[in-house]
Each structure stands twice: as structure tokens, then as C-alpha cells.
Chain A
Amino acid sequence: MAARWASMWSSAARGRGLGPGRGNFLRQVSHYLIQYATWIPPLICFNLYVAEVTFIRGPSMYPFFNPHYNESLRQDLCLVWKLYAQEDLRRGMIVVFRKPSDPTKTSVKRIVGLPGDVVRTRPPYPYEHVTVPEGHVWVEGDHADRSLDSNAYGPISARLITGKVTHVLAPWGRAGRVKWWEHPLREGVFRSM
């Protein structure tokens, strides 16, 4: 019985054994699958260079993202804009970047200092003040004591930034544009310009 099924399947897969209707159906299914598969590379490119939808994990940006991190497992769904990600960086922007300590992971933080700024650091950092070097930014999470940020690993190269968080998509109540410019600037940053 099984052998008969197998032979029927293999002949059907060749699209001949079971009459033209069934064969056509299988051929069409595989044909459409191939058609959809050809759209995978453009989709990957779109996600790499234009925009991507991602979840924000962890409490480091509390209360801006995940305000209920300690009450529920719900995570904020966000739109990350990737076009010109490393250009026109401003203080207060929320950026996605590759972790300097682990290239396979990404992190979401707020830009606190731009090149040339002098930042008064927070505890884990060994020096009290630091000048952000050229091509680098100082990033911090909003939730200072639950965030592994520049105070732990120093200023990060702007080349590590892969995108800017522009919109919150879910939960519905807070959905909308991320108004980073309304966020108060962190104290203790002596701006260079």
C-alpha cells in the first residue's frame, strides 16, 4: 500500500501519472513557489537598506519603549528606517546599531552625544568626562540603571548604526511617530555646536 502511494506520489510529482489535471496542479504549485522565492532577495535588500519592522526587547529604553516590561511579556513593535542610517544623526534620536562587544547582536539606544561633545559619564565608565571622538556617538538607554550602553563600552562608531527608530506600530495605544526631538536632552552633555 505504502509502495503504491509512493509510486503514485512520485509519478504525480513528475506530473504525469494521475492525469493532466492533478499534474498541472502540482506543477502550478511548484511554479508559484518558485515565483515567490524570486522575491526573497529584493525583500532582504529592502529590509537591509530601506526599512524593517522589529520588536524592541528588554527594559533599557523604559519608559519610552516597553513601559510594562516588568508586568507583561508584550514587546513594542517598531519601524526602523534604514535609508541613510548613518547620516544626519542628532541628539535624542533613537538608533539601532550592532553591539560593539558582539557583532551578531543589535541594540537600541538614544544618542546622547555627538562628535566633539564632552559627556559627563555615569558609573561603570572609568573616567568622569569623555570627549566623543570624530565619527563616534555616545549612546545611552533611557532607563539608566537597566541599560548596557556607552557608559559600559565607550563611544560607538557611527558606522555601527544600522537604522533609526521612526515609528511605533504596536501596541495600538502608543502607535505613531517617534517624536525624538521632544525628548529632553540629557544633562551633563557639553555640546560642541
Chain B
Amino acid sequence: MSSTTLLLRGLFRPSRCSPFSRRTAQRLPHHTASSSLPPPPSHAFGLRRNASSSPNPSPSNLTTNSGNGNPHHGQPPSWLGHPLRVILTTIKFVAFAHLIWEYGISMAPASGPSMLPTFEVLGEWLLVSKLHRFGRGVTVGDVVAYNIPINDEVGVKRVLGLPGDYVLMETPDGMGGGNMIQVPQGHCWIVGDNLVASRDSRYFGPVPLALIRGKVIATVRPLSEFKWITNPLKKEDGPTED
């Protein structure tokens, strides 16, 4: 707790309360209420004696050394500082959080029947790893979030083909027919799990990997459920003849 407040002080009043003012913050009560404080650690004494070569090192000497004439002494602590500084700090913090959200990990609600039964129609929250942006490290069978190439929405579908792979262009008809294509370079082929209610590569063709926003790694139902999404593609013995 105390460390976080110190950190926040450092954030909000950087020019005065930076790393080295931490000591000031600890020593500051020494002026006002020294009786309740434990004495400073002994090694600090020793070092300081070497450094300042003062003939009579004393705790008061210490405080003046590090926090020379603290301007806030005696004033009520202004926690936030100048309004402009608050705005700048907010901008920095928002930008940092946004980059984490955009390049690290993010969570977003998803709805729609196209990924049934993997995802429910409503109330599904997806945890998306943005480290797989642009399809980095994505394999066949993964579920990805992508920018839909023909409008300005974000979709979630399963990857069936990566550059150089061969995929069926339509829904499998079970009769051993159908047209296929080879996924071109820099693209992937994505199809929703619910084949009858999904608008995907079967409709708009291969999707550029540059539109892949990330890989869906888990579904979260707020406060009730957390489930990792695993790749279902696994070794099989082959179709059973019936």
C-alpha cells in the first residue's frame, strides 16, 4: 500500500517527488513527529558519514542533505499537483494502457450465432491475445478475432487455412465434391463453427493476415465462468466406414 502511494506521488509530482524524493518522503515526518519513528538503518549512517565528511553527523543533518529545504514542509500535501500535470499524466497512462490493450491482451464481448456451439449467442466475453496480431503463431484450428474486410466490424472465426494450405471453398457436401483453393501468400481462410449461420471466407474469400487482431485464448462469463479455448485439431484414425 505505502509503496503504491509512493509510486503515485512519483507519478503526479515527478519533478520533486521522483525516485530520490522517496527518501524525503520517509524522512519528512522526522521534522514533525520524530518520536514515533524508528531510527534510520545504521548502514545509512556509515555511508553518509563517508560522503559528507561532516564532523558531527546527526539525523537532522541527514534530512537536510537529501531533501534540501523541502518547499512542501508545513503545507498540506497537495496530492495531485498542477492541473496540467494531472492532464499530462492521464494522457501518458491512457496511452500506456491502450498499447497494452492493442499489443498485449484485451477482452471484449461477443455475440452472434456464427460460432455456435463453441460460443453462445449472447453474453460471451472473449480474452484475446494480441501477441498473435497479424496471425503470428496462429495455426489451423485456432479461433481468431479479425477485422471483417468488407465492413468496419470485428468478427470471430476459426482458421482453416494459412498461406499455402488447401481448403474447401464451400461447405462440405458430404458427397466427396467441391471446389478448393490454395490460400494465397499473406492470407488465411476462416470459417465459423456454425456452418449454416456464418458469413466468412466462403463469402468474402481469403482474409489478409494484416486484418487478424489476435487469437481468442479464453471465454469469460463475468463472475461465473472462465474457460480456455484449445485448438481442437488433433490426430485421428480416420473416418469410420458406415
User: Which residues of A are at the interface with B, using a C-beta cutoff of 8 A?
Assistant: 15-20, 23-24, 27, 30-31, 34-35, 38-39, 41-42, 44-45, 86, 98-104, 133-136, 156-157, 159-160
| CB contact list, B14-42 vs A, under 8 A | 14, 18-20
Pair A103/B51 contact, Cβ less than 8 Å = no
Q: A27-B19, A41-B96, A42-B91 given; name 14 further pairs at CB < 8 Å.
A: A17-B47, A27-B20, A34-B18, A34-B19, A41-B95, A45-B95, A99-B210, A100-B186, A101-B185, A101-B186, A103-B208, A133-B204, A135-B150, A157-B147
Pair B186/A45 contact, Cβ less than 8 Å = no
Q: Which residues of A contact B121 (CB under 8 A)?
A: none
Q: How far is the CB of B171 from chain A (nearest CB, A)?
A: 21
Pair A159/B152 contact, Cβ less than 8 Å = yes
Contact partner of A45 (CB less than 8 A), chosen from B50, B65, B98, B209, is B98
CA distance A20 to B20 in the complex (A): 12
User: Which residues of B are at the interface with A, using a C-beta cutoff of 8 A?
Assistant: 14, 18-20, 47-48, 50-52, 65, 91-92, 95-96, 98-99, 134-135, 147-152, 184-187, 204, 208-212
Pair B99/A44 contact, Cβ less than 8 Å = yes
Pair A39/B186 contact, Cβ less than 8 Å = no
Known contacts A98-B210, A100-B187, A101-B184; A16/B20 CB under 8 A: no
Pair B99/A157 contact, Cβ less than 8 Å = no
Pair A133/B99 contact, Cβ less than 8 Å = no
Pair B65/A38 contact, Cβ less than 8 Å = no
The 10 A-B pairs with the shortest beta carbon distances in the complex, nearest first, are: A157-B149, A103-B210, A135-B150, A98-B210, A103-B134, A41-B95, A101-B186, A42-B95, A41-B96, A100-B208
Q: How far is the CB of B42 from chain A (nearest CB, A)?
A: 15
Known contacts A35-B14, A41-B95, A103-B208; A16/B48 CB under 8 A: yes
Pair A31/B19 contact, Cβ less than 8 Å = yes
CA distance A86 to B210 in the complex (A): 15
CA distance A163 to B121 in the complex (A): 35
Known contacts A31-B20, A100-B208; A135/B149 CB under 8 A: yes
Q: How far is the CB of A163 from chain B (nearest CB, A)?
A: 14
Q: How far is the CB of B54 from chain A (nearest CB, A)?
A: 11
Known contacts A42-B92, A45-B98; A157/B208 CB under 8 A: yes
CA distance A44 to B148 in the complex (A): 25
Pair B211/A160 contact, Cβ less than 8 Å = yes
CA distance A176 to B156 in the complex (A): 43
